[in-house]
Structure 1
């Protein structure tokens, strides 16, 4: 009885083994490669339950992915045209489109396929970046670069039964050495630009200062000239008036001049003067305070002399009414062709936008 139970149990176990080893299930995320003695006999891509010869000795099944897979590459150092280097992060998405080729040429192993993918992606990225200038890798050409990379590796990986869906570049950064060099170059350019602007400002300041000094000298010279002319005209008018008064009554004029001389020469200061009584200075001291008789014969009064006008030399009004001409502000032409004029009030001259290169010195 016991032997019979063992035999029945063994038969049931054998039957279950045969049953379960003759079926295989294909998931919707997978595809199955059916092989008989190592030779591929069938490819199952549709999900479901399938049957094969029991046991794995005759027929064996290898399940591979049917999903979209991803491969990443990070911190890849690539060189662009001009010997500059970038640090690049990228990835691609792929699918096993031909399970037969994938089994035959990559033994159906993702590790083998991804080794080939890594080499192909590395070479394609280096080729694409190597054809670009330094600034192109950071411009709007990135989409074109990703498309070129995908097109380069597609034929190579299609031989493994892989279909490259897309290639994406995640990051493109300057290499640490290149970044430092670029920073120093940009810093030098900014310093040179600042020095140029500072020199241009100093040039304008010196030009304006020279113009202002010239204007000041011209204005002071014109004012001094006109002041001397007016002073001379005043002295001439004073002398003319004195002469006219003397011609009207010479005796009274002598008396008036003597009184002025007494007032100025004999102030109340204790001054002692030793003079002869017959001196002409004391002519009117012995008159007992009597004034000289008024003259009845007067000369014809002199008409007032007309003061000549000082011409301004131009139709524009004078600055202060004294004949000082309004000076036309001079201007200067710089080497870049721009006109430089003195400022008015607090108005600053407009900066020069683009400076022409300085001429080479004469040999």
Structure 2
């Protein structure tokens, strides 16, 4: 290789090295700052191709998307001094790149740790001013709004990040408290069940007594009506018989004698001891009967 070609090759390598260390790209999903010997000279680099001075300038890039900081569950005390285990998280985004770099050295993990500490401090203060009922359901949304607003002010000022939202994932009682609460709730439910069963039994007895009383009244009324109907029927039958037999008393006497004979001699071997001139044999001795 000739000296001219070697020189051109070295020049091309040097130019390529300088270009690779002079040009850099900021993506749409990134934020960045331009440094000069560690000092911020361009606080917010727009997405696109940029130029820097090799060995003089340095570039720090940060994720410009919405990030999540997941805090560890912490024990907080309510207004009644009741312990709660609160698990929370927050959504944030880099807002002031220069302040973010200065406060965290551009480390997302460090920013997440600082935010988690501030979230826990805010939750501790807000939970301490409320009852369990208010924290769990009554004022939970209001509590999140207050913490998000206050934390956003602090985070913008101190860390250069915007707090988008703070949410509580889960609120639990400590294990030692959960067992006692469960036992108390179980005892209350058993007491309530016993009361309901007693009320049901009392109501059932009342319904059963009312039904028995109604049955007795219905049966008495039915028996009364039956007796009245039977009495009316017997009276009517007696009247019909009296009217019929009154038209021929002798025939009535004859039929009565026949009925008496039939009832007296129902089975074979029946024996009756009567005088021959007894009135009982009147129609047996004279078919025509007495005149």
Q: TM-score, normalised by structure 1?
A: 0.55
C-alpha contact 2:69 2:91 (8 A) present in aligned 1: yes
Match of 2:69 among 65, 72, 97: 72
Give 5+ residue unaligned stretches, structure 2: 1-9
Per-residue Cα deviation, 1:315-355 (whole angstroms, up to 9, x for no partner): xxxxxxxxxxxxxxxxxxxxxxxxxxxxxxxxxxxxxxxxx
Larger relative contact order (Cα-Cα within 8 Å, sequence gap ≥ 6):
2
Partner in structure 2 of residue 329 of structure 1? none
Q: Separation in 2 of the partners of 1:220 and 1:41? A: 105
Q: Quote the offset at 1:286 in angstroms.
A: 3.0
The yes-or-no answer on 1:221 pairing with 2:220 is: yes
Contact 2:71–2:116 at 8 Å: present in 1 too?
no
CA contact (8 A) 1:26 1:32 kept: no
Answer with 185-194 or 157-166: which moved more.
185-194
Secondary structure of 1:171's partner? strand
1:164-218 CA-partner distances (Å, limit 9, x unpaired)? 2423427225346366667667766766666565555444433332232222211
CA distance in 1, matches of 2:285, 2:106: 154
Determine the structure 2 residue equivalent to 1:355: none
User: Quick one: structure 1 residues 115 and 131, their matched pair in 2 at CA, closer, same or farther if it must change by over 3 Å?
Assistant: same
RMSD: 4.3
Per-residue deviation, 1:260: 2.6
Mapping of residues 1-363 of structure 1, within 5 Å? 27-28=25-26, 29-35=31-37, 40=39, 42-43=41-42, 45-46=44-45, 48-51=50-53, 63-68=59-64, 70=67, 72-79=69-76, 80=78, 83=82, 85-95=84-94, 97=96, 99=98, 102-103=101-102, 113-131=111-129, 133-134=131-132, 144-169=142-167, 171-175=169-173, 177=175, 198-240=197-239, 244=243, 248-267=247-266, 269-287=268-286, 289-293=287-291
The CA deviation string for residues 204-259 of structure 1, in whole angstroms up to 9 with x for no partner, is 43333223222221121122223323333444445555555665454444343333
CA distance in 1, matches of 2:99, 2:288: 156
Structure 1: gaps spanning 5 or more residues: 1-11, 55-59, 294-363
Which whole-Å CA distance do the structure 1 matches of 2:106 and 2:43 have between them?
14
1:256-281 CA-partner distances (Å, limit 9, x unpaired) = 33333223213451122222213222
- SS at structure 1 position matched to 2:259: helix
Q: Is the 8 A contact 2:155 2:163 kept in 1?
A: no
Find the aligned partners of 2:141 and 2:24 in 1 and give their Cα distance.
38
- State whether residues 34 and 42 of structure 2, in contact with CA within 8 Å, keep that contact through their aligned partners in structure 1: yes
Relative distance call for 1:31 and 1:211 in structure 2 (3 A) is same
1:263-311 deviations in whole A, cap 9, x for unaligned? 3213451122222213222233332x33444xxxxxxxxxxxxxxxxxx
In the alignment, the residues of structure 2 paired with residue 96 and residue 250 of structure 1 have an alpha-carbon distance, to the nearest angstrom, of 131
Q: Aligned partners of 1:100, 1:211: CA distance in 2, in Å?
A: 84
Distance 1:281 1:91, change over 3 A: same
Three-state SS of the structure 2 residue aligned to 1:283 is helix
Deviating more after overlay: 253-262 vs 214-223: 253-262
DSSP-derived class of the 2:261 partner: helix
TM-score computed with the length of structure 2 as normaliser: 0.65
Give the conservation status (yes or no) of the 8 Å contact 1:251–1:292: no
Query: Which has the larger helix fraction?
Result: 2
